[in-house]
Structure 1
Amino acid sequence: MLNFPLLSDIGSSTAHLLLVFGIGLTLPYWVDIRNTLHRAVLLAVTFLLAIRYISWRGTETLAPAGFTFDMFASYALFAFELLAMMGTVSSYLIMSRIRLRSEEADAHERWYGEKEPRVAILIATYNEELDILERTIVGAKALRHLNKEILILDDSRRDWLRDYCAEQGVRYMRRPDNKGSKAGNINHCLERLAEDPVPPDFVAVLDADFVPHRGFISRCLALFHNPDVGLVQTPQHFFNADPIQHNLGITHSYPDEQRFFFDHMQPSRDGWGIAFCCGTSSVCRWTALREIGGLPTESVTEDFMLTLSLQNKGWKTVYLSEPLTEGLAPEGLKEYVTQRARWCLGLMQIARSRLGPFGKNNLRLRDRWSVVDSVLFWTTSFPFRIAVIVFPLLYWFFGTIVVDAQLGEVLTFFGVFYLWGQMVQRVLMPGMVVPILHDVGQLIGAVPITRAAFTGLFKPKGHPFSVTAKGGDRTGITIQWQLMMPFLILLILTTMALLLGIFFDRFSYQDAGDGKWVVLFWTIYNLVVLSITILACVELPRRERHIADLPDRGLLTMDGDIRRYWISSLTLDEARLRGRVQAEGQAGHLRIRDIGDVRVQVIAPTVDGLRVRLLPTIKQREELLVRFYAEGAAPGTARSQLGGLVAGLGQRLSFSGPR
């Protein structure tokens, strides 16, 4: 049975934690997150605490040297942790600076004068459906920048898409083969543009599912006032929930997984001059693209490699942290994981390429560090997340003491470091990192991402480009058994280990003293993480839904009767109205702000009103698309909300879907 540690043994450690917690609470009152000195001080303290912790781990907690399983397991976990800590420290260094360029864009608006530069907007497509392509094309046409040409690059050679582009008045382009995948598709277009009588001055790239806001081009062009800037990247925002948000019922209380990178890491990278292209939502200078010979095709992540190719020729990549496009996040968990595994594989290919950190090229030291930092992230974070789940099992089943430490020491060294890190994150990126959910997000793709990382490092060539599927039928519940199975097995083993360790001492062959409580804590923590990860593998039905930040007023006319209603939900096909109930099947017109009178038909009454089917004209449909996707602020959730998280997770754990 477990022996309870003496409270006196952890008293001083608790005092250390309370001191750190108290100092952390004062940080929001004096820290200016845009001040480089303030950021540097906070992260320097974090770095020192990290060094203090890892030094203690390496000198005080490892098993004695000798050819034993204890030593092998102990040193193996420490190696995982040391490498992960190197990646963490590198990210701390990057985040010690930040650069936000909105004021610069304001100051240099229309620096080019009265004559607008010519911009080619390239939309590469492979297998997307019309409803996805329609909103992107309509959004591109609605851009305020007038001197533009929209090109649809169809790698599936679909006649119906060619005909639709003709109807929309946009340029359609196809090629005889799919060599080079997306990068090859864009390069083929660049060659055709070079043959035009007047080539473009700039080239914008949009994924087929990304809709530009109306100011996307003009805001990006403002940063090209500097003749050394070759590419401007903007963040990606998503109008739908990613699979983790959706499947856990926390869409409105937890930010999507990409928010940390686009809202915090990229501005910090820009502070060091190492922001990089992320493909879609970017604008590149035509002369820079021609100088480097188009997009590189050696990696399945041609976007990051494009930045390195530009820098190798002296061109800068800068980042404008404004919500200027919004797109479709992967709707299925399998696609979500596949996408991230592709990013990982592509980065490893870059590391092994001519533009790698140890290659003979013209890259600056900071560019090489940028690649090394990314390699550390992909090769250490995800294997370490697996190790944290697996290694506690060695104690319960085999009596292997992987970390030989007392509870008080763990609180003093690890607890202080971890708590301070959380307090700093709370100030620099409030509501962005929730520990358990952050671990779930890493664990859910850890196995395929780890496989991709080491496959890419040791065999960088010969891997096909994997397209992230978008759209399709998402109306039913889908259980991703293949993704779930490793976590289900680990959950069963961890549960068995905990029960055996608590009630049967014979399953613990060595006594770890009160260090056993450290193992117990991580075991219980892992049970929670594994349970939520398994829950996230159960994919819930999806449906299109657009809800205004504030309910809108609408005027409903039926049979000469005119009444005001609240429009509480509005999509391309339906609207939900609050007000007097009307008869099913009744037809009329609904006046919608900025759209006009749209024909409607009552579908069914509701508790507080009715649902109507919209029957818009082609022009009205396009106006609705612009309103939904091309105007307004960033969609989605910007920061975590504790109450919503608890409610959403509680609802899912009770086996009911989100409301």
Structure 2
Amino acid sequence: MLDFPLLSPLGSSTVHLLLALGVGMTLPYWVDIRNNLHRAILLSATFLLAMRYIWWRGTDTLAPPGLTLDMLASYALFGFELLAMIGTVSSYIIMSRLKLRSDEADEHAGWWGEDEPRVAILIATYNEELDVLERTIVGARALRHRNKEVLILDDSRRDWLRDYCASQGVRYMRRPDNKGSKAGNINHCLDRLAEDPVPPDFVAVLDADFVPHRGFISRSLALFHDPRVGLVQTPQHFFNADPIQHNLGISQSYPDEQRFFFDHMQPSRDGWGIAFCCGTSSVCRWSALRDIGGLPTESVTEDFMLTLDLQDKGWATVYLSEPLTEGLAPEGLKEYVTQRARWCLGLMQIARSRLGPLARNNLRLRDRWSVVDSVLFWTTSFPFRIAVVVFPLLYWYFGTIVVDAQLADVLSIFGVFFLWGQMVQRVLMPGMVVPILHDVGQLIGAIPISRAAFTGLFKPKGHPFSVTAKGGDRTKITVQWQLMMPFVILLVLTLVGLLLGILFDRFSYQDAGDGKWVVLFWTIYNLFVLSMTVLACVELPRRERHIADLPDRGILVTDGNIRRYWIRSLTIDQARLRGLVLSEGTAGTLRVRDVGDISVEVIARTVDGLRVRLMPTTEQREALLVRFYAEGAAPGTARSQLGGLLAGLGRRLSFSGRR
């Protein structure tokens, strides 16, 4: 018989890969991502490939039993991978459904008739500066919903903030202690509101650094037409880049880390009836809050626990996937990691609480699954990410064979599973998950998050609430050495191990079979991931930047001369005017849409014009804040752009991206 190349094991594997690629390329032409049947078909196929892969790993690739380093390492890595795969499969099931409620909000807009419901807007604050609080308060006052009251809940008891609230005509509250942290602060306010002659019908919660868009209240209230709905959650968008976006120079071409959860996971959770509160940008029915006795204080993530508490009493949480607020993402890498470690710790506390999946309560099976899914995410994804970096080193330095597999099987089983998964993600979440960058986002906080996960599981009580710091001096380059050093060490060990193995044939290919190709692939991949992670630990200077702003026409008046020019890079105190040349110090007025005539002074010439200092009145400053933060579409980008990614990373690597 003739031995055709395509009939060989390697040729057959190539056919499998090409088949997966070919079918995957057709998906955009027939898949409707809003059709739950289409989603279920795609993710069921992914599930079957995942099961095929994990069965193969457990039956064909492990070291023989025995008290050897090979067996211990091989089984340990498989254990990490198996647990991570269980979490991945759980997310596949969740994402097989989708519920979008914009049409429902349109249909039931104004269901209350002529008398608007009374809404209390609670802004909890601890240590934020005025420039952070100002835009939130101004945005809350500018909401279109008329029957509202804005309340500032000050847990630092600052007299200057009390005076500022009086000047803004908003209600100021402080309490004698800080018991219960943020949840306790809100509960204190709820108790005071209950003493008012007319309590609110609904309560909206905003973080101190989150500005509501003008339709936030009216759009959210539309979903309360259903008397079973106790809470409506809306997504969080950010007007600044998160630390990874900023430090890698990809803020305009790569979505922030939260977009996957808010744009894709929460609508899918809502399809199962298990969307949950995320604190800020939510609205809750007053009667539901009083029914459960206020916000729970047993967890540092009181928002997720609030949803479980509501469901335990029969109240539903729903999700409205519309950009109705925007806020400040953590500006520093340390704050970014601390925030996520706090979320992780809080989920572990919930899992061990009276509302945990194994506790006696009135939660539905799907609510218990919701908690288990979140626990799986925090306890498996991040340790597995560390394991993927560490275990190849055992091969290069000790000759330990962790995965014993034939190359043909690797391609036809793992390769097909990986490729198909990427194609499905490309259809269901276009431009959302980018290999290497996605792993950088997980790896950079993997050590403290893993520590928080197991600390919370085994010691759920006695942990203080860690406030995410806002503001501060961000004008200098800062190297986060404590976060960076483990990755520098791993990068050096990986590079040295690879060089020893290839150049000097030390442990590299002895008795490893085709398993060496698996190790080689992950080693090279890890070098890229670790390099980008180290780079992301170098924090670049920041400056105020409004991503949503577009060039606009303006009228400049100087010495009686009227000129029309393009306004670029408009901020609260500066603007660039294109195509105009005037000497420094020239004074005049600049007419800005929806703001008015602002006094300005030329402060510098630029390549294409000049830069002016804005000197707005108090009213004009507030109008600028409303324009920047409370109006328009969502800031940032919702999907990655390959050209922009390559350009941004190229600038960052060449250091030309530094300002």
Q: TM-score, normalised by structure 2?
A: 0.98
Pairwise CA distance, 1:657? 2.3
| Contact 1:540 1:657 survives alignment (8 Å) | no
Length, aligned pairs only: 655
1:548–1:384: structure 2 CA closer, same or farther, 3 Å change rule? Answer: closer
| Contact 2:240 2:546 survives alignment (8 Å) | no
Distance between the aligned counterparts of 2:65 and 2:482, measured in 1? 39
Deviation string 1:497-544 (CA, Å, 9 cap, x unpaired) is 000000222334832123212111110000000000000000000000
Query: Where does 1:110-259 land on structure 2 (aligned, <5 Å)?
Result: 110-259=110-259
Distance between the aligned counterparts of 1:204 and 1:658, measured in 2? 40
Distance between the aligned counterparts of 1:193 and 1:623, measured in 2? 30
Pairwise CA distance, 1:652? 1.3
User: Which residue of 2 is the match for residue 406 of structure 1?
Assistant: 406
1:53–1:238: structure 2 CA closer, same or farther, 3 Å change rule? Answer: same
Distance between the aligned counterparts of 1:100 and 1:507, measured in 2? 54
Distance between the aligned counterparts of 1:104 and 1:272, measured in 2? 17
Distance between the aligned counterparts of 2:306 and 2:572, measured in 1? 37
Query: Where does 1:357-376 land on structure 2 (aligned, <5 Å)?
Result: 357-376=357-376
Distance between the aligned counterparts of 1:511 and 1:7, measured in 2? 26
Amino acid at match of 1:12: S
Query: Where does 1:67-466 land on structure 2 (aligned, <5 Å)?
Result: 67-466=67-466
Distance between the aligned counterparts of 2:654 and 2:589, measured in 1? 42
| Contact 2:132 2:209 survives alignment (8 Å) | yes
| Contact 1:475 1:543 survives alignment (8 Å) | yes
Q: Indicate the larger mover: 475-484 or 642-651.
A: 642-651
User: Which residue of 2 is the match for residue 46 of structure 1?
Assistant: 46
User: Which residue of 2 is the match for residue 529 of structure 1?
Assistant: 529
Distance between the aligned counterparts of 1:28 and 1:419, measured in 2? 15
Amino acid at match of 2:251: T
Distance between the aligned counterparts of 1:281 and 1:76, measured in 2? 42
Distance between the aligned counterparts of 2:342 and 2:561, measured in 1? 57
User: Which residue of 1 is the match for residue 557 of structure 2?
Assistant: 557
| Contact 1:31 1:38 survives alignment (8 Å) | yes
| Contact 2:577 2:610 survives alignment (8 Å) | yes
1:547–1:441: structure 2 CA closer, same or farther, 3 Å change rule? Answer: closer
| Contact 2:337 2:445 survives alignment (8 Å) | yes
Distance between the aligned counterparts of 1:320 and 1:438, measured in 2? 26
Distance between the aligned counterparts of 1:600 and 1:12, measured in 2? 71
Amino acid at match of 2:404: D
User: Which residue of 1 is the match for residue 501 of structure 2?
Assistant: 501
Distance between the aligned counterparts of 2:147 and 2:529, measured in 1? 52
Deviation string 1:469-491 (CA, Å, 9 cap, x unpaired) is 01111000000000000000000
Query: Where does 1:50-65 land on structure 2 (aligned, <5 Å)?
Result: 50-65=50-65
Distance between the aligned counterparts of 1:544 and 1:378, measured in 2? 33
| Contact 1:598 1:616 survives alignment (8 Å) | yes
Pairwise CA distance, 1:15? 1.3
Distance between the aligned counterparts of 2:521 and 2:200, measured in 1? 60
Deviation string 1:29-80 (CA, Å, 9 cap, x unpaired) is 1001111100000000000000000000000000001111111100000000
| Contact 2:124 2:206 survives alignment (8 Å) | yes
1:485–1:547: structure 2 CA closer, same or farther, 3 Å change rule? Answer: closer
DSSP-derived class of the 2:569 partner: strand
Gaps of 5+ in 2: none
Distance between the aligned counterparts of 2:378 and 2:240, measured in 1? 26
Distance between the aligned counterparts of 1:507 and 1:39, measured in 2? 46
Distance between the aligned counterparts of 1:396 and 1:8, measured in 2? 30
| Contact 1:398 1:509 survives alignment (8 Å) | no
Pairwise CA distance, 1:569? 1.1
Distance between the aligned counterparts of 2:408 and 2:273, measured in 1? 42
Distance between the aligned counterparts of 1:220 and 1:23, measured in 2? 40
Amino acid at match of 1:119: V
Distance between the aligned counterparts of 2:414 and 2:470, measured in 1? 42
DSSP-derived class of the 1:277 partner: coil
Pairwise CA distance, 1:550? 3.6
| Contact 2:509 2:516 survives alignment (8 Å) | no
DSSP-derived class of the 1:465 partner: coil
User: Which residue of 2 is the match for residue 624 of structure 1?
Assistant: 624
Deviation string 1:70-119 (CA, Å, 9 cap, x unpaired) is 11100000000000000000000000000000000000001011000000
DSSP-derived class of the 2:67 partner: coil
Distance between the aligned counterparts of 2:624 and 2:311, measured in 1? 41
| Contact 2:502 2:508 survives alignment (8 Å) | no
Amino acid at match of 2:367: D
Q: Indicate the larger mover: 152-161 or 516-525.
A: 516-525
Q: Indicate the larger mover: 339-348 or 538-547.
A: 538-547
Amino acid at match of 1:226: D
Distance between the aligned counterparts of 1:438 and 1:572, measured in 2? 34
Amino acid at match of 2:187: N
Deviation string 1:570-605 (CA, Å, 9 cap, x unpaired) is 000000010221110111000111111100000111
1:399–1:548: structure 2 CA closer, same or farther, 3 Å change rule? Answer: closer
1:58–1:485: structure 2 CA closer, same or farther, 3 Å change rule? Answer: same
Pairwise CA distance, 1:393? 0.5
User: Which residue of 2 is the match for residue 14 of structure 1?
Assistant: 14
| Contact 2:248 2:648 survives alignment (8 Å) | yes
Distance between the aligned counterparts of 1:488 and 1:14, measured in 2? 36
Q: TM-score, normalised by structure 1?
A: 0.98
Amino acid at match of 1:494: T
Pairwise CA distance, 1:546? 2.4
Deviation string 1:331-364 (CA, Å, 9 cap, x unpaired) is 0000000000000000000000000000000000
Distance between the aligned counterparts of 1:489 and 1:565, measured in 2? 53
Amino acid at match of 1:448: P
Q: Percent identity?
A: 86
Distance between the aligned counterparts of 1:370 and 1:618, measured in 2? 47
Deviation string 1:610-656 (CA, Å, 9 cap, x unpaired) is 00000001000000000000000100011000001111111112233
Distance between the aligned counterparts of 1:615 and 1:640, measured in 2? 37
Amino acid at match of 1:619: E
Amino acid at match of 1:224: F
Distance between the aligned counterparts of 1:204 and 1:60, measured in 2? 55
Deviation string 1:245-286 (CA, Å, 9 cap, x unpaired) is 000000000000000000000000000000000000000000
User: Which residue of 2 is the match for residue 640 of structure 1?
Assistant: 640
Amino acid at match of 2:526: N
| Contact 1:559 1:588 survives alignment (8 Å) | yes
